[in-house]
A and B are shown apart, each in its own frame.
Chain A
Amino acid sequence: MVGIITYGAYIPRYRIKVEEITRVWGANAADIKGGLGVFEKSVPDLDEDAATIAVEAARNALKRRNVDPEKIGAVYVGSESHPYAVKPTACTVGEAIGATPNMTAADYEFACKAGTAAIQTCMGLVKSGMIPYGLAIGADVSQGAPSDALEYTAAAGGAAFIIGNDNPVATINHTCSFTSDTPDFWRREGQAFPRHGGRFTGDPGYFKHVKGASNLLFKEIGTSPKDYTYAIFHQPNAKFPQKVAKDLGFKSEQIKPGLIVPWLGNTYSGASPIGLAATLDIAKPGDRIFVCSFGSGAGSDAFDITVTDAITSKDFHRDAAPGVMQLLKDPIYLDYALYAKHKGKIVMQK
């Protein structure tokens, strides 16, 4: 049965608080925090990028379980902030974990759902018997334009999943997707910051596709929200996932462990993956997990997952790598000037 063999996450140490950003732009911190449900977001160090985050997440996954990297037959990295437009992050990751040269690789882009798309691809390659293991990563050092609403939430982080069918810690029983051509949020080639359609990103964007994929999955395998222990939804802010969960019929306790956006921000391609990682950090054998990501442009990937006995077996050492809560601890706060320096938002001499 195909599933998650091991997983790992990585979140940079630095943070900036919403009130520090509002201070600079003259906005009202209480309004923003109340409206988005986000207090602070993660910021990459000066020498971190989507590739270093992807590598650290992958290495954390490998710390938890004895997987021979040479048996990883595919590496896919999903990000909106790949360091190169041409030259895959997946190659750097593959080399850094010792999976090269006998593997396939490619980078994915699908806004915030590139990481879950990578999981689906790995599932197909494993299920078809083409590869023993595949590595799927969602990692980002997301950009929000200065003073734009996205600046309050665009954060840095990532999670990695090794997919296989040899005693997974969680089986992925089913996956399906709902995709359309929708211009809710986009970034043109060469542009530094994304643009978005304001309120258009809600119903025609996020809600239509998350509901579309979720309901499609429930219909295809005959499940409903009450069948799940936990649920993770894409979290651009705290309000959207809470609303879609309620609309679909999930309870707030179900989404709680996977809802980390209030202290992390929106890590774009890392968002649903990190939410899933945070949930797996506390899951027990038999727990059933529902995941539905969302990527602008637009589409959603839904997953039905069952945690197995392997997660508490001697083959898997959850404590060998830091969990998401651990990664969120002991942050180092930056002011806006240092934040801008870290994010390359200061104009330098070329």
Chain B
Amino acid sequence: MKGRMIAPGNTKGEAIVSPEPIGFYGGIDINTGVVIEKNHPLEGSCVKDKILVFPNGKGSTVGSYVIYGLKKNGVAPAGIINKETETIVATGVILAGIPCVDQIDISQIKTGDMVFLDADNSEVTINK
């Protein structure tokens, strides 16, 4: 699948897919990478080294710092794939250097799929 590059890089990993938007601030623990938002579809899952797939960001504008902090703390996702990346997530992945592509039909990706994310070429490949 071809999308739009938000932040460059090339990575692969197991997909973890949220059908709901993610607010990083208050949504993901900056020290552990575990999703802590109550009643979120991914509550209790860890995003570390995964390809994190979700439609768009939501909530606090501090989210960019949380993404940056996840990376510095070694618990960041390996890559991010969105339907539509908004400024908060874009700022976070650019600063943190996490490969990110958007404008992808994320309904094609299921949790557990092996995903190759070639952000440099704005490309996503899925291995079922």
Are A and B subunits of one complex? no
**Residues of chain A whose beta carbon lies under 8 Å from any beta carbon of chain B:** none
